[in-house]
Chain A
Amino acid sequence: MTRRWGRHGGIYLLGYLFLLPAAAVYLVFVLYPLARSVQLSLTDWDGARPVATFVGLANYARLLHDGLFWRALGHNFVWVGLGSAVALTLSLLLALLVWNKPQGFTVFRTVYFMPQILPAVIVGIVWSWIYHPTFGILNRGLDALGLHTWAKGWLGDPGTALYAVLAASIWATVGLAFVLFSAALQGVDTELLDAAQVDGANTWQRVRHVLVPQLANAVTLVAVLLLVHGFQAFDHVWIMTRGGPDDSTQLLATYTYQKAFMDNEVGYGSTLSLVLTAICLATAVITVRARERERA
């Protein structure tokens, strides 16, 4: 008979052993790169030299005076604020529209979710065609409606480019939020809605005070996803405008990529990426905390 370990020693060890693969993956693919990014942010490494010179907090000091960083951050706030609000509202509305599973529900659900599964490259290219000043369907549609004065180069005008790319991104993002809201709506107690109606609550009051509180978990999840996704936004902008024209669509993620990989300033790019990480983390924590406080 084999000698047994202590009363709990064996099971604890085994438990840790099972945790080991996931912990190893997390260590190698998250913690180590994060630590390396912190290390690189304190250097002026260009991505090629064998030795990186330690520059202390110089990259962080530079960031404070970097006009393009603040401009990109401003664009990110527009992107996150406007993008999240529109995507959240739109997805909730769409979910409500198909809540009672009308005829063709499956088709609607598939159509609404479809953009989510399209690769960002496809979304970017397709929307670039839609916005094309000469043969894009948007300008042609405006022309057909007699609104030719509204037609313009949506991606080429610094005043509209950010919103044009954001619209494409919202279109691609709404699908996931729609599915999450659709699932959450299945758990809503309709008797409470009926009771509120009997008590004289109008539609808006029923939605705001009876329905939405029951979707609190889904709202929190969708909000966090949209906010973090908003700060991490990169692919659609990169494919459609590359941050232009004249940096009018430059976001933190595109600026980070540009600095690290195109301008060969890996040290400064790491600094930017850490700031981006900190913003994402803070956003997620603040959103979850705010929702928890509201629910308490």
Chain B
Amino acid sequence: MHDSMRQGFTRQGFTRQVSRRDLVRLAGALAAGSGLSACGWGREDSNAGGRPGSPATTLKVWDQFTTTAQSRAVEKIYHLFTSKHGDLRIARTTHNGDQMTTIGKTALSSGTGPDVIYYQVGAGNAGLLADAGLIRPLDDLAEKFGWTKEIAPFAQREARLNGTLYGLPHESEVAALFYNKTLIDKAGLTVPETFDELLAFAATARRKGHVPIAYGQLDIYPCWWAFSLAANNLLGAESLGALVFDNDGSWDTPEITEAIRMFFVDLVKAGAFIDELNAVNASDAHAMFLAGKALMSLNGTWAVGGIEEALPGQEIGIIALPSIGDRPRVYPAGSGSAYYLSSKSRHADQAAAFLDFLYTPEAVRIWVEEGRVVPPVEFDPSGWKLSGLQRAALTAAQNGGGDPSINLGYFVNHGQAGPSFLKAMTAGFQAIVAGTKKPAQVAGDLQRAWEAK
């Protein structure tokens, strides 16, 4: 290094060379830099990636379709929409459910978040956004576009908050027991029709070295599906719907206590699940079914695609929880989530057109055939490329295999279920399996949590 340069870096030398003018210059340069930055340099333009003459309006859509098949189908549908609206471009962002819950509300309240957000239904989820005025009511659009007539009533109920429609419900899903008929036949067993038969089936299968039902409840949510299956069966769809959505009823009744006991005590004692089900998460449990190591799996219609890929050539069926005491079988049904419009969106009309496009016949076919997602609207799938399991799942989701008013029920974690109630279910059902709580105690906890919201 040159001596004069070294001199410049010594404390004294440096001081000598810095004048007020130098500092003013430096400050000016910094100010200019921040000024330019504030003017937009370095920021993503709302039309980022666009070519000269590209569309003027970008619609920001956040959804939760993260699996490959669903993501591809969604991209196709969105592209189809933009191809029909030359002035529009969709900027799509995907998040899983947890991420969406964590950042969705912040993004919406910022005013620069998504125009359209695909968010979980219910008072504890989208209800929060509605209370904060972050999403706009859709009753006017429902009237204008005819959604009220097209969309299944149960789905509309899910997307309504205090009587007002806030979302375009999507993904008609049911919780169910998938069974591997090929394995069951090989084991010399038959698919159970009643709850007593299920208990016997479990005990026999266990003796023969099979895992009867792949189910684990280390995660917070699988026990909600399980409880939904038992509660719908014991209470009936109408009564449970009134309790979950209209707060008409109570959770600490003998029927609810019985539902809890039957699933989390009786089935466990009969050996229906792998040991230590509190230590196994949902995906690990389901993986046993996919690997051909379990005869049944407690899951939902969203799992159809994965099952078909993992078990080609095997005969797979779908049933609701076997009948308890001659009561009708009921599939817990609901919307996975719903599309909501940001109340701060500057492109409300375009966003409304986008929502209306999602259930056009051409889009519905892509949802069903390619995404394996069932929109809550009527459609005729004859002639479509669907597997046997897909058709069975479709039937279950559309009418429960019979009369939809009887055979399609509700998920206990939807409607007015708030965070405290959800937590009381997870912790309570884990405690029963661990032997630290009784069903009646948990039923009491559920009612207290329900009242506390």
Do A and B interact with each other, yes or no? yes
Q: Is the CB of B427 within 8 A of A153?
A: no
Given A3-B19, A3-B20: A47 and B105 within 8 A (CB)? yes
- Indicate whether B430 reaches chain A with its CB closer than 8 angstroms: yes
- How far, in Å, is A128 (CB) from chain B's closest CB? 8
A132 to B124, alpha carbons, bound, how many Å? 32
Given A132-B280, A153-B280, A244-B278: A5 and B20 within 8 A (CB)? yes
Interface residues on B, range: 35 or more
- Indicate whether A261 reaches chain B with its CB closer than 8 angstroms: yes
Q: Is the CB of B105 within 8 A of A246?
A: no
List residues of chain A with CB within 8 A of the CB of B279. Answer: 131-133, 153-157, 245
Q: Is the CB of A156 within 8 A of B278?
A: yes
Q: Which residue of A lies closest to B17 (CB)?
A: A2
- Indicate whether A247 reaches chain B with its CB closer than 8 angstroms: yes
List residues of chain B with CB within 8 A of the CB of A241. Answer: 218
A158 to B431, alpha carbons, bound, how many Å? 8
A160 to B178, alpha carbons, bound, how many Å? 32
Main secondary structure of the interface of B (DSSP, over half): helix
- Indicate whether A4 reaches chain B with its CB closer than 8 angstroms: yes
- Total residue contacts A-B, CB cutoff 8 A: 122
Measuring CB to CB, which residues of chain B are less than 8 angstroms from any residue of chain A? 11, 14-15, 18-23, 26, 101-102, 105-106, 108-109, 124, 128-129, 131-134, 218-220, 274-281, 284, 288, 419-420, 423, 426-428, 430-431, 433-434, 436-437
> Which residues 1-52 of A have a CB within 8 angstroms of B?
2-5, 10-11, 13-14, 17, 46-50
Q: Which of B106, B274, B427 contacts A247 (CB 8 A)?
A: B427
Given A132-B284, A156-B277: A48 and B11 within 8 A (CB)? no
A265 to B124, alpha carbons, bound, how many Å? 11
A97 to B171, alpha carbons, bound, how many Å? 59
Residue in B277, B280, B423, B434 with the greatest tally of chain A CB atoms within 10 Å: B434
A133 to B288, alpha carbons, bound, how many Å? 13
Q: Which residue of B lies closest to A247 (CB)?
A: B427
Q: Is the CB of B280 within 8 A of A48?
A: no
The 5 closest A-B CB pairs, nearest first, are A153-B276, A156-B279, A153-B279, A156-B278, A2-B19
Given A49-B132, A50-B132, A133-B276: A10 and B15 within 8 A (CB)? yes
- Interface CB pairs A-B, < 8 A, 10: A3-B20, A4-B19, A48-B128, A133-B275, A153-B278, A156-B430, A156-B433, A158-B436, A246-B428, A263-B420
A258 to B281, alpha carbons, bound, how many Å? 19
List residues of chain B with CB within 8 A of the CB of A107. Answer: none
Instruction: Give the A interface residue count (CB, 8 A).
Output: 38
A2 to B274, alpha carbons, bound, how many Å? 84
A132 to B285, alpha carbons, bound, how many Å? 11
A153 to B26, alpha carbons, bound, how many Å? 64
Q: Residues 257-286 of chain A: 1 if any B CB is under 8 Å from the residue's CB, otherwise 0?
A: 010011111000000000000000000000
Main secondary structure of the interface of A (DSSP, over half): loop
- Indicate whether A206 reaches chain B with its CB closer than 8 angstroms: no
A226 to B427, alpha carbons, bound, how many Å? 30
- How far, in Å, is A118 (CB) from chain B's closest CB? 20
Q: Is the CB of B280 within 8 A of A47?
A: no
Q: Is the CB of A245 within 8 A of B278?
A: yes
Q: Which of A2, A48, A154, A242 contacts B20 (CB 8 A)?
A: A2
Q: Is the CB of B423 within 8 A of A48?
A: no
Q: Which of A46, A153, A158, A262 contacts B101 (CB 8 A)?
A: A262
List residues of chain B with CB within 8 A of the CB of A291. Answer: none
Q: Is the CB of B11 within 8 A of A262?
A: no
- How far, in Å, is A244 (CB) from chain B's closest CB? 6
- Indicate whether A109 reaches chain B with its CB closer than 8 angstroms: no
- Indicate whether A205 reaches chain B with its CB closer than 8 angstroms: no
> Which residues 203-259 of A have a CB within 8 angstroms of B?
241-242, 244-247, 258
- How far, in Å, is B358 (CB) from chain A's closest CB? 25
Q: Which residue of B lies closest to A152 (CB)?
A: B276
Question: Knowing that A49-B131, A246-B427, A246-B430 are A-B contacts, what are 13 other residue pairs whose CB atoms are under 8 Å apart, sorted by A's residue number?
Answer: A4-B19, A128-B281, A133-B279, A133-B280, A153-B280, A157-B434, A158-B430, A242-B218, A244-B430, A245-B218, A245-B279, A245-B427, A264-B124
Residue in B11, B124, B284 with the greatest tally of chain A CB atoms within 10 Å: B284
- Indicate whether A106 reaches chain B with its CB closer than 8 angstroms: no
Given A132-B279, A133-B275, A246-B430: A156 and B218 within 8 A (CB)? yes
Q: Is the CB of A262 within 8 A of B427?
A: no
Q: Is the CB of B427 within 8 A of A48?
A: no
List residues of chain A with CB within 8 A of the CB of B108. Answer: 48
